[in-house]
């Protein structure tokens, strides 16, 4: 069994994380931006401190479960510190005076209240380097969380509407994903997600542009405000994606009714459902999803923070597992929802007593439900089997 002390892992993690930021956020003269400097110093001091009691158990703790992260919006990984650092680098004045004020806005009442802040904070993403820095920061943190394969959504329309080109956002993210296996031990795929509160024409136009520029995308997704924007609105988009040989996924049953899940399956012919928790209101649908082994990428902390469920204790995940659904655990927008995939697992274990057996089962589900090659899936399943969990 492979153990390292968790406190040490976090120290290494925070060093890696800050060093990467520090490396890439300095300007050409090597000068670090003051905000980063402050953060870097803070982190450096932190890593030099004596570990807190609870962080350094004698026997150490097991390494996190090796998992595939299948539901992750790269823009949702923008941590408050990085938002301020990028704003400074790009000369953007934020409507918050400091981190504390920004963090005070992370009290969401529903999906839309989150989306308003999520889109507003994207203003700091201006250059390819910004997109690359954000992606690198996520991968550094994800590696510590046990992520070994990640399928990462990018919202191109959210950047185009701000005057940021497709090349800037796609190339910035893709340039880092291209080396993610070597740099972080994480194989990755990029998924272009379309905003369902915009028109299908807009989505089709952007998809054609992505295809014309030979963007390295493995598939398309459907996200943003769900209620009132049913899957049927995007029938032609998904048909075009299928025609182009792309994988297809869609958010459904996060806030929207079970009928949206049915339509995503029947009309959009999706291969995975993002969230899908409201399927539990329709026993016939549950039976169908079980029969079809349809993957549901569940995001427990997200559901609590966006009030799709009242508390983690009331989350339907245990019932979904009991029903035999093909569920896995994901972080959605970890910078906004209080944690990465390891934090989701940790809270599921501590708050609802989810068993190690169920965690391993969902880790295996995540690997099998990914769009990775059969060879990569076999490698990851073997890693999971050998992980000691
Ligand atoms: N975009 C980013 N996060 C999202 C979520 N949880 N639901 C829908 N769209 C999103
Ligand atoms: Zn999502």
CATH number of the structural domain spanning residue 188: 3.20.20.140
Q: Decide if 345 contacts 329 (C-beta within 8 A).
A: yes
Same domain, 115 and 141: yes
Give the end of a domain, one of 63, 80, 99: 63
3 and 110: one domain? no
Beta bridge partners of 92: none
Task: Collect residues with CB below 5 Å from ion ligand 2.
Answer: 332
Residues 174 and 290 in one domain: yes
Structure tokens at 301: 């902390």
Confidence of residue 251 (pLDDT cuts 50, 70, 90): very high
Question: 355 and 324 in one domain?
Answer: yes
333 pocket-lining for ligand 1 (C-beta < 6 Å): yes
- Residue 211 and residue 223 share a domain: yes
Of 75, 112, 115, 275, which is best to mutate to test ligand 1, by the most ligand atoms within 8 angstroms of its C-beta?
A: 115
Using CA atoms, how far apart are residues 25 and 120, in angstroms rounded to an integer? 21
Closest CA to 71 of 386, 327, 383: 327
Range of the domain at 94: 65-385
User: Is residue 254 among the annotated active site residues?
Assistant: yes
Among candidate residues 63, 80, 110, the one where a domain is terminated:
63
Same domain for 323 and 270: yes
Q: How do residues 283-293 score in pLDDT, each as one tens digit?
A: 999 999 999 99
* Claim to verify: residue 150 and residue 213 sit in the same structural domain: yes
20 pLDDT more than 60: no
> Of 63, 91, 117, which one is at a domain's C-terminal end?
63
Same domain, 178 and 318: yes
- Pocket lining: 254 vs ligand 1, CB cutoff 6 Å: yes
**144/288 same-domain check:** yes
Q: How many domains does the chain have?
A: 2
Token pair 């999906």 is found at: 111
Higher-confidence position of 226 and 4: 226
Reported pTM: 0.88
- Phi then psi for residue 365, to 5 deg, are -55, -45
pLDDT, tens digit, 9 for 90 and up, residues 107-163: 999 999 999 999 999 999 999 999 999 999 999 999 999 999 999 999 999 999 999
At residue 275, does pLDDT exceed 80? Answer: yes
Per-residue pLDDT at 252 exceeds 80: yes
Of 40, 104, 165, 126, nearest to 95 by C-alpha is 104
Q: Are residues 74 and 172 in the same domain?
A: yes
50 and 98 both lie in a single domain: no
| pLDDT tier for residue 63 given thresholds of 50, 70 and 90 | confident
pLDDT at 58: 52
Ligand nearest to the CA of 337: 1
Residues 69 and 59 both lie in one domain: no
Sheet holding 67-73, edge to edge: 67-73, 147-154, 187-195, 219-223, 247-252, 272-275, 295-298, 326-329
Please say if the pLDDT value at position 4 is more than 50. Answer: no
Average pLDDT over residues 241-254: 99
Instruction: Answer whether 126 contacts ligand 1 (Cβ < 6 A).
Output: no
């Amino acid at each position: 069994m492979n153990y390292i002390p968790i406190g040490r892992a976090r120290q290494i993690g925070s060093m890696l994380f800050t060093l990467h930021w520090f490396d890439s956020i300095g300007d050409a003269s090597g000068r670090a931006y003051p905000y980063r400097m402050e953060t870097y110093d803070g982190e450096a001091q932190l890593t030099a401190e004596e570990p807190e009691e609870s962080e350094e158990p004698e026997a150490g703790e097991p390494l996190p479960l090796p998992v595939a992260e299948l539901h992750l919006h790269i823009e949702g990984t923008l941590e408050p510190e990085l938002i301020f650092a990028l704003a400074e680098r790009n000369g953007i004045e934020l409507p918050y005076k400091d981190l504390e004020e920004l963090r005070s806005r992370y009290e969401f009442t529903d999906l839309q209240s989150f989306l308003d802040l999520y889109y507003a904070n994207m203003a700091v993403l201006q250059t390819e380097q910004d997109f690359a820095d954000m992606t690198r920061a996520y991968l550094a943190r994800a590696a510590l969380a046990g992520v070994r394969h990640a399928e990462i959504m990018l919202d191109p329309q959210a950047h185009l509407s701000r005057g940021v080109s497709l090349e800037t956002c796609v190339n910035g993210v893709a340039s880092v994903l291209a080396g993610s296996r070597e740099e972080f031990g994480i194989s990755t795929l990029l998924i272009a997600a379309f905003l369902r509160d915009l028109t299908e024409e807009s989505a089709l136009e952007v998809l054609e542009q992505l295809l014309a520029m030979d963007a390295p995308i493995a598939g398309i997704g459907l996200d943003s405000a769900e209620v009132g924007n049913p899957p049927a609105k995007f029938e032609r988009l998904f048909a075009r994606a299928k025609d182009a040989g792309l994988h297809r996924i869609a958010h459904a049953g996060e806030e929207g009714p079970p009928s949206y899940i049915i339509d995503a399956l029947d009309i959009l012919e999706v291969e995975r459902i993002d969230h899908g928790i409201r399927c539990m209101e329709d026993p016939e649908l549950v039976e169908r999803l079980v029969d079809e082994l349809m993957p549901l990428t569940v995001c427990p902390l997200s559901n609590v923070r966006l009030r799709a469920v009242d508390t983690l204790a009331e989350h339907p995940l245990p019932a979904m597992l009991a029903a035999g659904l093909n569920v896995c655990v994901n972080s959605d927008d970890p910078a906004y929802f209080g944690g990465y995939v390891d934090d989701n697992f940790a809270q599921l274990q501590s708050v609802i007593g989810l068993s190690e057996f169920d965690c391993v089962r969902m880790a295996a589900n995540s690997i099998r439900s990914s769009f990775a090659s059969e060879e990569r899936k076999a490698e990851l399943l073997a890693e999971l089997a050998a992980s000691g969990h």
